[in-house]
Amino acid sequence: MSKDILVVAEHFNGKIADVTFEMVGKARELAAGLGGKVVALVIGAGVEANDLASDATLQVNEPALTEFNPEAYARIVEAVVQEQAPRLVMFGWTSMGMDLAAWLSGRTGAPCAAYVRDLRLENGGLVISCQAYNGKLIAEVEPQGEMTIAACLAGSFPTEAGRGATAATSIPSPIALDSLRVRFVEAIQPPPGDVDITTQAKLVAVGRGIGGKENIELAEELAEKLGAVVAASRPVVDAGWLPRTRQVGKSGLKVKPKLYLMLGISGAPEHLEGMKDAELIIAINTDKKAPIFNVAHYGATADLFEVAEAMLELL
């Protein structure tokens, strides 16, 4: 086993994604403590991969893999891991990393920590903090064995320490690509039209607590009075109460408004990914233990309908 850390890079539209810089920065800190190197693995040709602060960047130069292919990526990572025997393999807890991390754990028997918020070294061993139970609890775990897999929540570490100028080295694909069962067909673009919530100064965001489509009107009224636009958590969109264009979070949009007024949103890590940098966050929630109160600037344990109605009367 080496003391090295393998960071499985994520990219989109030919550019390295922020979560990769975040992980490389964290990996550098850990590698310094372990006395190992940081190796970034970029799968796909045509990705601009010379801007990482890794000790080495390996790029699998296959044009066919520039688009994510869960089967091919998984097997390539497995092959590279077998060859390099790293101490730690880092993935993003993202749409891509969620397909790979636990699979690699099942294949190799190495422990996997998911929902990772932080990693540190104690007496040479890794201690990992996982943001479990929708953000209500943090589990601190010590992985056993020689290799550990960590799937890190986006936004957990600063990106700066991961930015550098390491030139990527091309490597051929370690696996045959002609017998894959999974084939990329085409990219799907976001639905056009509607307001762009990422450019709004004020958002009134509704969550599952809004209860039904018929109650969206109340949020619309409040938003109108405030000169804001209505945004939503994912379940509201999945239920068809608001269009996909209004979704904030991991699989939705990232927003940074001056005001983010939240009605009935619990504050799951996937929602926080999209809004935690808003300038003023106000949360109304009936659950005084809702994780959103750890992030909001102002909060009230109250019924959203009563508060919204009362605000409407005052505005």
Ligand X SMILES: Cc1cc2nc3c(=O)[nH]c(=O)nc-3n(C[C@H](O)[C@H](O)[C@H](O)COP(=O)(O)OP(=O)(O)OC[C@H]3O[C@@H](n4cnc5c(N)ncnc54)[C@H](O)[C@@H]3O)c2cc1C
Q: Which does 264 bind (CB under 5 to 8 A by kind): ligand X, other proteins, none?
A: ligand X
- The residues pairing with 217 across neighbouring beta strands, listed in sequence order, are none
Structure tokens at 115: 């929902």
Size of interface with other proteins, in residues (CB under 8 A):
103
Q: Which does 265 bind (CB under 5 to 8 A by kind): ligand X, other proteins, none?
A: ligand X
Q: Which residue lies nearer to ligand X by CB, 87 or 91?
A: 91
Distance CA 220, CA 148 (A): 47
- What is the x/- site pattern for other proteins, positions 273-302, by CB under 8 A? -------xxxxx--x-x-xxxxxxxxxxxx
Q: Which does 66 bind (CB under 5 to 8 A by kind): ligand X, other proteins, none?
A: none
The one among 29, 78, 221, 287 contacting ligand X by CB under 6 A:
287
The one among 159, 303, 311, 312 contacting ligand X by CB under 6 A:
303
For 160, phi and psi rounded to 5 degrees?
Answer: -55, -45
- DSSP 3-state of 111: coil
Choose one: 108-116, 173-181, 188-196, 230-238; the region binding ligand X (CB under 6 A).
Answer: 230-238
Q: How many Cβ atoms are within 10 Å of 310's Cβ, its own excluded?
A: 11
Q: Tell whether residue 208 is a contact of ligand X (CB under 6 A).
A: yes
Distance CA 154, CA 140 (A): 18
Query: What is the maximum span of the chain, computed from C-alpha positions, in angstroms?
Result: 67
- Cα–Cα distances (Å) from 225 to 56, 202, 229, 255, 287, in that order, read 54, 11, 10, 21, 26
- What is the x/- site pattern for other proteins, positions 125-164, by CB under 8 A? --x--xxxxxxxxxxxxxxxx---x-x-------------
Q: Tell whether residue 100 is a contact of ligand X (CB under 6 A).
A: no
